[in-house]
């Protein structure tokens, strides 16, 4: 079990789940959750390559940056969702299409 | 340094014109102080130049400076100054009379609706005249010459609500046009022959014989035609009396220093290039104008009309002097005449002002305030005006001790010398002396009718008052300057014109072969001087005596003589029917001709050619329009637009606005790329 393929496999499953969530969910918060999953799958990749792929400490540092960036992204995205809710009384992102012609 | 002074003198009045025309109405006192201030500085600068001329005491002084205005290869135009003693004296005269006019107008024009614009135009007038005086070539001269015409038009028509004033302005402008065409032809003849506008180079060219004979005579007569128009010589004298419609101070400025002086100044400047034939023509025009205008002045009743014809007559004198070669005498008379004629005009302005106020108080709007038949007995009421006008009248009549005696004497001596030299031209001295006799007569007729005798309208008499100080000051100053001493200093001899003027302003030799030299002319004048002096004094005394017996003592009845000489009297009273004849034989035929031509233009040319062309064009453009609109626009232009619009609305469906759709597309994209990559 202690091999790169295992981690990459887990990461791929996580990525696919995240992508599925992003594409299928109508609830904005659920979409965000999907994005978090994708980001975390990327993190697992970084760590795995740090351990087995010769990326060494750089992989760890990248993972840290991704976590920080994910936090920032979550803050901005949640603010957007709250604003959507304030304006439209829903978090269903299909309703938010005023920019469409 | 002199150039800087000259620049200041030229452009300060222009600056005042620009300021007043732009913001004049918003300035305190409507900005009259701007105009008066600028013209005062001009006067100070002229005095400084005059002082330096007296100190350097160089009769041959001449300074020239010019800048290139445009260079068109064969056609080079320069703008420049020529400063010599004639220029300096003339600048001083213009500045002095202009300053006096500005000061006099403060009260005379007070309350006028276009007070500020009036002062602006005075500035423009002064600027243009200074430009004429300073010009060193015919081209700049021509520019300023026309500017003088424009500003005189504006000022004569100052009260343009009155039809007569508007017409007088037009008449002055159009009559001047006739002369200016001749002037233009003269300038162009000289340019074609000599290739230059510069005075000095023209003189040189003529001296070398590059231009001679008939061509030069024609050019000279052409240039003189400009002077005929501007200086209102026979037969273009008709505009000047009408120009009396302008405000009286403007008449003074125009008659003394600016407008009419321009023509005389031109002939004085260009004297060296006139051929003997041209000079003879000039002399006859001048001499005839002198006596002709004098005979009209005798019978006029309007105080300003008398003065107007007297100006025409005196200008004739100056022109006569130029024609007989004594052109410095003509210029001398221009200077002295400026002083006493301006004084006479301000005096008449003062009288009219008083009459106007008296009539205004009586609510009488029908009586003419300028008619001398309504005046009389003003002597005790307006002592300053009376005495200054008497001095000026003595000066213009040529009585010894006054400036007019010196200059008139010089002219008459020149004429007499010419007459003795060429006995076939005996008429010229007769014109001269005859005009002198009549001048003395009608000037004192004016004085006696206005200031002496019983008042004709006693009910007005109590309301007649002396004019305010702003109006009497110019009178006193100018009448003082009509005394001989100011022109003969440092010598003190009332019978000789020897003094700074004759020492500093020297005649140039004529450049045309065949003309007597300046020395010969001076000799001739010297020989006939004593005889002239006696004759002219006698003639002046006779004129004044006749006037005295007719109008003061009434020993001779003017009415009885008018009765006896009815045909002549009517001719003179109606100015020899010049206006009527011009109207009948010139304007009306011209109008009929214009009618014919306009018929050809409107009914034939316009109707068939222009309109036909229009029809063809209209039809052609209709065809082109159809092709363009129905053919090109409908298919290509609109078709392109329609197909674009269709493509747009089809593709629009892809843009669902759903985030997840886009994401799905992106996923498919990635999958496709991955599939392609793996092969």
CB contact under 8 A, B660 and A24: yes
Residue in chain A nearest B655 by alpha carbon? A100
pLDDT in tens, A8-33: 999 999 999 999 998 888 888 999 99
| The pLDDT of residue B673 is above 90 | yes
Q: What's the mean pLDDT in B325-336? A: 87
| The pLDDT of residue A1 is above 70 | no
Which residues of B are less than 8 Å from A25 in CB distance? 660
**C-alpha dihedral sign at B219, B197, B202, B95:** positive
Work out the minimum CA distance from B631 to partner chain A, whole angstroms: 35
Instruction: Point out the residue among A19, A25, A97 whose CB comes nearest to the CB of B658.
Output: A97
Q: Pick one of 1.10.287.3510, 1.10.3720.10, 3.30.565.10, 3.30.420.10 as the CATH number of A4-94.
A: 1.10.287.3510
Residue in chain B nearest A21 by alpha carbon? B660
CB contact under 8 A, A97 and B663: no
Instruction: Say if CB B288 and CB B316 are below 8 A apart.
Output: yes
- Which of the pair, B263 or B563, is modelled with greater confidence? B263
CB contact under 8 A, B660 and A23: yes
Q: What's the mean pLDDT in B338-362? A: 85
CB contact under 8 A, B657 and A24: no
Which residues of B are less than 8 Å from A94 in CB distance? 658
Distances (CA, A) of B80 to B202, B373, B455: 15, 50, 55
- Distance of alpha carbon B332 from alpha carbon B328, whole angstroms: 6
Question: What is the pLDDT at residue A63?
Answer: 92
Chain A 19-58, CB below 8 Å of chain B: which residues?
Answer: 19, 22-25, 31
Burial B97-114 (b: 16+ CB within 10 A, else e): bbbbbbbbbbbbbeeeeb
Residue in chain B nearest A94 by alpha carbon? B658
Distances (CA, A) of B553 to B386, B543, B548, B549: 19, 14, 6, 5
| In chain A, where the domains are located | 4-94
pLDDT grade, residue A100 (50/70/90)?
low
Work out the minimum CA distance from A51 to partner chain B, whole angstroms: 26
pLDDT grade, residue B27 (50/70/90)?
confident
Does ipTM top 0.85? no
Mutation site, B654, B658, B662, B669, interface A, largest A CB count within 10 A: B658
Which residues of B are less than 8 Å from A22 in CB distance? 660, 663
Q: Map tokens 């003395």 to a residue.
A: B440
CB contact under 8 A, A101 and B652: yes
Interface contact A97, partner B, CB < 8 A: yes
Q: Residues near B548 by Cβ (< 8 Å), separated by ≥ 6?
A: B444, B448
Work out the minimum CA distance from A7 to partner chain B, whole angstroms: 21
| The pLDDT of residue B667 is above 60 | yes
Q: Map tokens 């609706």 to a residue.
A: B113
Work out the minimum CA distance from A23 to partner chain B, whole angstroms: 5
pTM (global) more than 0.80 = no
Q: What's the mean pLDDT in B347-359? A: 84
Instruction: Say if CB B64 and CB B83 are below 8 A apart.
Output: yes
Chain B 645-674, CB below 8 Å of chain A: which residues?
Answer: 652, 655-660, 663-664, 667
Which residues of A are less than 8 Å from B667 in CB distance? 19, 23
Work out the minimum CA distance from B658 to partner chain A, whole angstroms: 6
pLDDT in tens, B138-177: 888 888 988 988 888 888 888 888 888 888 888 888 888 8
Instruction: Point out the residue among B657, B660, B664 whose CB comes nearest to the CB of A100.
Output: B657
pLDDT grade, residue B644 (50/70/90)?
very high
pLDDT in tens, B34-57: 888 899 999 999 999 888 888 888
**C-alpha dihedral sign at B384, B388, B389, B391:** positive
Question: What is the pLDDT at residue A101?
Answer: 56
pLDDT in tens, B471-482: 888 888 888 888
Work out the minimum CA distance from B663 to partner chain A, whole angstroms: 7
Chain B 10-29, CB below 8 Å of chain A: which residues?
Answer: none
Instruction: Point out the residue among B652, B655, B663 whose CB comes nearest to the CB of A22.
Output: B663
Which residues of A are less than 8 Å from B663 in CB distance? 22-23
CB contact under 8 A, B667 and A23: yes
CB contact under 8 A, B659 and A101: no
Instruction: Say if CB B168 and CB B242 are below 8 A apart.
Output: yes
CB contact under 8 A, B663 and A93: no
Which residues of B are less than 8 Å from A31 in CB distance? 659-660
Residue in chain A nearest B664 by alpha carbon? A23
pLDDT grade, residue B441 (50/70/90)?
confident
Instruction: Point out the residue among A22, A25, A99 whose CB comes nearest to the CB of B657.
Output: A99
Hey, which of A9-18, B207-216, B631-640, B656-665 has the most confident mean pLDDT? A9-18
Work out the minimum CA distance from B656 to partner chain A, whole angstroms: 7
Which residues of B are less than 8 Å from A19 in CB distance? 667
| The pLDDT of residue B442 is above 60 | yes
Structure tokens, B300: 């006029």
Closest among B497, B313, B528 to B412, alpha carbons compared: B528
Question: What is the pLDDT at residue B44?
Answer: 92
Mutation site, A16, A17, A23, A101, interface B, largest B CB count within 10 A: A23
B492: region left, alpha or beta (phi > 0 left; psi from -120 to 50 alpha): beta
Residue in chain A nearest B649 by alpha carbon? A101
Distances (CA, A) of B104 to B101, B119, B418, B478, B483: 5, 12, 41, 12, 21
CB contact under 8 A, A23 and B652: no
pLDDT in tens, A35-60: 999 999 999 999 999 888 787 888 89
pLDDT grade, residue B647 (50/70/90)?
very high
- Distance of alpha carbon B565 from alpha carbon B568, whole angstroms: 5
Which residues of B are less than 8 Å from A97 in CB distance? 656-658
């Amino acid at each position: 079990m202690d091999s790169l393929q295992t981690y990459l496999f887990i990461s791929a499953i996580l990525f696919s789940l995240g992508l599925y969530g992003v594409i299928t969910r109508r609830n904005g918060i659920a979409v965000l959750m999907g994005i978090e999953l994708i980001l975390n799958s990327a993190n697992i990749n970084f760590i795995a390559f740090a351990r087995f792929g010769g990326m060494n400490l750089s992989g760890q540092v990248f993972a840290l940056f991704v976590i920080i960036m994910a936090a920032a992204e979550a803050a901005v995205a949640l603010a957007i969702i709250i604003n959507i809710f304030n304006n439209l009384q829903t978090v269903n992102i299909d309703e938010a299409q005023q920019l469409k012609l | 340094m002199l150039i800087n002074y000259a620049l200041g003198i030229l452009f300060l009045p222009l600056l005042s014109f620009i300021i007043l025309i732009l913001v004049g109405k918003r300035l305190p006192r409507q900005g009259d102080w701007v105009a008066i201030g600028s013209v005062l500085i001009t006067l100070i600068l002229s005095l400084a130049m005059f002082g330096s001329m007296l100190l350097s005491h160089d009769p041959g002084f001449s300074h020239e400076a010019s800048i290139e205005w445009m260079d068109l290869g064969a056609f080079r135009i320069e703008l420049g100054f020529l400063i010599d003693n004639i220029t300096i004296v003339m600048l001083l005269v213009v500045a002095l009379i202009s300053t006096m006019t500005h000061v006099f107008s403060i009260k005379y024009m007070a309350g006028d609706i276009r007070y500020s614009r009036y002062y602006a135009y005075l500035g423009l007038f002064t600027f243009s005249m200074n430009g004429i005086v300073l010009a060193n070539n015919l081209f700049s001269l021509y520019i300023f010459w026309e500017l003088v015409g424009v500003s005189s038009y504006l000022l004569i028509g100052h009260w343009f609500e009155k039809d007569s004033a508007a017409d007088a302005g037009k008449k002055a402008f159009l009559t001047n046009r006739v002369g200016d065409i001749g002037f233009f032809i003269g300038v162009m003849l000289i340019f074609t022959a000599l290739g230059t506008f510069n005075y000095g180079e023209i003189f040189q060219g003529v001296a070398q014989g590059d231009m001679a004979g008939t061509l030069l005579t024609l050019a000279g007569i052409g240039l003189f035609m400009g002077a005929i128009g501007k200086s209102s010589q026979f037969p273009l004298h008709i505009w000047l009396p009408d120009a009396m419609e302008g405000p009286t101070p403007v008449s003074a400025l125009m008659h003394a220093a600016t407008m009419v002086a321009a023509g005389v100044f031109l002939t004085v400047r260009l004297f060296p290039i006139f051929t003997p034939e041209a000079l003879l023509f000039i002399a006859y025009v001048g001499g005839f104008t002198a006596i002709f205008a004098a005979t009209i002045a005798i019978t006029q009743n309007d105080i300003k009309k008398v003065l107007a014809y007297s100006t025409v007559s005196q200008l004739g004198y100056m022109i006569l002097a130029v024609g007989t070669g004594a052109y410095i005498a003509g210029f001398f008379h221009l200077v002295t005449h400026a002083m006493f004629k301006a004084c006479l005009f301000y005096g008449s302005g003062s009288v009219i002002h008083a009459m106007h106020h008296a009539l205004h108080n009586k609510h009488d709007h029908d009586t003419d305030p300028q008619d001398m038949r309504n005046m009389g007995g003003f002597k005790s009421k307006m002592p300053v005006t009376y005495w200054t006008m008497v001095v000026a009248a003595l000066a213009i009549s040529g009585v010894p001790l006054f400036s007019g005696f010196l200059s008139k004497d010089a002219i008459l001596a020149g004429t007499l010398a010419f007459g003795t030299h060429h006995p076939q031209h005996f008429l010229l001295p007769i014109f001269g002396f005859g005009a002198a006799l009549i001048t003395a007569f009608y000037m004192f007729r004016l004085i006696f009718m206005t200031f002496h005798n019983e008042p004709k309208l006693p009910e007005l008499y109590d309301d007649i008052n002396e004019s305010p100080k702003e109006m009497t000051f110019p009178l006193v100053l100018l009448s003082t300057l009509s005394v001989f001493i100011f022109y003969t200093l440092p010598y003190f001899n009332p019978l000789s014109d020897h003094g700074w003027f004759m020492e500093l302003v020297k005649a140039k030799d004529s450049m045309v072969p065949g003309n007597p030299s300046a020395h010969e002319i001076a000799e001739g004048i010297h020989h006939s001087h004593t005889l002239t002096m006696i004759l002219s004094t006698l003639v002046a005394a006779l004129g004044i005596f006749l006037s005295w017996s007719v109008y003061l003592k009434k020993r001779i009845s003017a009415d009885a003589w008018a009765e006896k000489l009815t045909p002549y009297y009517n001719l003179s009273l109606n100015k020899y029917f010049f206006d009527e004849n011009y109207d009948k034989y010139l304007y009306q035929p011209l109008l009929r001709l214009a009618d014919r031509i306009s018929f050809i233009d409107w009914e034939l040319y316009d109707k068939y050619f222009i309109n036909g062309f229009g029809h063809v064009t209209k039809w052609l453009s209709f065809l082109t329009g159809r092709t363009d609109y129905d053919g090109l626009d409908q298919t290509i232009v609109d078709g392109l637009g329609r197909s674009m619009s269709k493509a747009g609305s089809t593709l629009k469906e892809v843009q669902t606005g759903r985030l997840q759709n886009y994401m799905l597309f992106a996923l498919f994209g990635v999958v496709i790329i991955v599939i392609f990559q793996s092969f």
